[in-house]
Amino acid sequence: MKPSAKKRFTGATIIDIMPRDDILVKQPTSVATPPNSTFTLPFSTPFTFPEIIDADHFTINGLARRIRSSSTPAIELRSLIFEVCWRLIRHDLSEDLVMRPAFANVLGKPGAEMAEHDRRDHMRGREILLKLVNSEPDFEDPAAMRRVLGMVGDLFDELGEHMAIESGEHIPKFCTVIDQETSQRLARDYAMTLCMTPYITTFNVDADPRMLTPVLMFPGGVKTYVNTDLTVLRRIYNEVIKDAKHDNGKRIKEEIEKEIERLKVGKWLGYNERKALREGKGGGMGKL
Ligand SMILES: [Fe+2]
Ligand SMILES: [Fe+2]
């Protein structure tokens, strides 16, 4: 297909993206729905759409590899496991807000099926993550650690294949029909969702509109974050973005930029590393 024939998907912006259930019933329609007026953050991203997804996969796989490596000191395991858990939950949210609606809007029924396949895989992964963080393992007990590492192994055996299909089949198929501008806009939409860390705050303007008092959205940190249902996460994300207007997006922009720096490590993958990632050997260091 000539580049000029590629579709420009200018549909719903992050804030007003349709609820997930609607994706499945939505018929393939025009890809040019003008966005509603929304608060726009003053930042740009160095990624295209496939690059930012791959970079997020790369970060997650790198953490999983460190968890599973015998050379990782036991003292680091807890924070690594908690980090991989929340990054996977956020990845599901980011894909739900950006990738799945775009698949369905641009590719029609096959895209909606790809989105549903993705959603189901993440739902299964979420069950393991919930068990992991809620089991409150004693990280000093070798038997408990073996159980935890077994769970991480099961999770990544499934997810390795999932990421390989997503990065190696679904996204390349999608990218053959979108133009570069759309790819960059989707990357930017995806980058916006990176503000959804377990440490994100918003403002309690109801208490005192003159004071911008930061309020933690997930007071229990990673555990609360992982236990938050996808629908609720979407709602919180919308609130965070709406409330960003109170400080011109300064606070969440900082959060996003930190995360983009983290993901940039994955952007500069060499050809072989990117190929390995697409073949389900993520992290660029052999099979998980
Ligand atoms: Fe996915
Ligand atoms: Fe993914």
Averaged pLDDT, 205-225 = 81
Give distance in angstroms: CA of 95 to centre of ligand 2. 7
Give distance in angstroms: CA of 91 to centre of ligand 1. 7
Give distance in angstroms: CA of 204 to centre of ligand 2. 33
Percent of the chain's residues with pLDDT above 90: 40
Give distance in angstroms: CA of 142 to centre of ligand 1. 32
Ligand index nearest the alpha carbon of residue 57: 2
DSSP string covering 179-245: -HHHHHHHHHHHHHHTT--TT-EEE-TTT-TTS--EEES-TTTHHHHHTS-HHHHHHHHHHHHHHGG
Give distance in angstroms: CA of 118 to centre of ligand 1. 5
Give distance in angstroms: CA of 53 to centre of ligand 2. 6
Ligand index nearest the alpha carbon of residue 121: 1
Averaged pLDDT, 149-177 = 90
Kindly tell me if the per-residue pLDDT of 154 is higher than 60: yes
Ligand index nearest the alpha carbon of residue 119: 1
Kindly tell me if the per-residue pLDDT of 28 is higher than 70: no
How far does the chain reach from its first CA to its final CA, in angstroms?
A: 36
95 band by pLDDT with thresholds 50, 70 and 90: very high
Give distance in angstroms: CA of 72 to centre of ligand 2. 25
Q: Are 195 and 256 in contact (CB under 8 A)?
A: yes
Give distance in angstroms: CA of 93 to centre of ligand 1. 9
Give distance in angstroms: CA of 10 to centre of ligand 2. 22
> pLDDT at position 166, please?
93
137 band by pLDDT with thresholds 50, 70 and 90: confident
Phi, psi of 203 (to 5 degrees): -110, 140
Give distance in angstroms: CA of 214 to centre of ligand 1. 32
Q: Whole-model pTM above 0.75? A: yes
Kindly tell me if the per-residue pLDDT of 276 is higher than 70: no
Averaged pLDDT, 134-151 = 86
Averaged pLDDT, 127-146 = 86
Question: How far, in Å, are 135, 148, 210 from residue 252 at the CA level?
Answer: 32, 33, 20
Give distance in angstroms: CA of 91 to centre of ligand 2. 6
Give distance in angstroms: CA of 1 to centre of ligand 1. 26
Q: Are 85 and 131 in contact (CB under 8 A)?
A: no
